[in-house]
Amino acid sequence: MEKYQNKYRIQSARLQGYDYTQEGLYFITICTHNREHYFGEIIDKKMQLSNIGVLADVFWYEIKNHTKNVELHQFVVMPNHVHGVLEIVGKRDDTSVKTDVETMHAVETMHASSLPYASSDQMQQISPKSGSVSQIIGAYKSAVTKHAHRLGYDFEWQSRFYDHIIRNNSDFNRIENYIINNPINWTEDKFYEE
């Protein structure tokens, strides 16, 4: 573990030195807190979405309406996680619609920059870049959480997410096949918990 301002912090799971705003395909996995089954259950090898599962499903497809340079590919909601492939296409458009996370981040940065221990340069360095995979997933997680809480549901995500940069067609095909068959193979899944 590395230290930031003399405190231990978890090192980023992102590939160091890689620009996550650049064009490419990304396989994303996001788990619920403590892998709780918030999203529903697998019954007869098919996912039966709970109300929170419906939110997770709907808001994934809303990503393309809030970030202009994104295309969505295969996606699945599982009982305690989601898998999806998103593609960043074209040049990043700084005029894209602001998301809840960008707005929240601006407020947090203004507040944090007034504190003696956090300069705006330091905050900028550790904050997700606009149009990056981290910013897009942060906005998605925020939207699901906000609407679940607004509807009175107890819900929480795991604090981080997993990504895999898809580098070729065989990788893309393998991952899409994995996502499609995830409900069928649920009992063999590494996230399987009853």
- The domains located in the chain, with CATH, are 20-94+131-180 (3.30.70.1290)
Q: Which of 157, 153, 140, 139 is nearest to 51 (CA)?
A: 153
Element at 10 (helix H, strand E): none
pLDDT for residue 152: 97
In whole angstroms, give the CA distance from residue 133 to residue 14.
Answer: 10
pLDDT for residue 12: 45
pLDDT for residue 123: 41
Sign of the Cα torsion 39, 41, 45, 48 reads negative
pLDDT, averaged per 10 consecutive residues of the chain (194 residues), comes to 51 58 94 97 97 98 92 97 95 46 39 43 50 93 97 95 95 97 93 81
In whole angstroms, give the CA distance from residue 188 to residue 66.
Answer: 35
pLDDT for residue 109: 36
pTM of the full structure: 0.75
How far does CA 28 lie from the centroid of its chain?
A: 7
Show the beta-strand stretches assigned E in 101-157.
Answer: none
**DSSP state, 79?**
S
pLDDT for residue 21: 87
- Tokens 């809030």 appear where? 66
Q: Which of 167, 120, 165, 170 is nearest to 13 (CA)?
A: 165
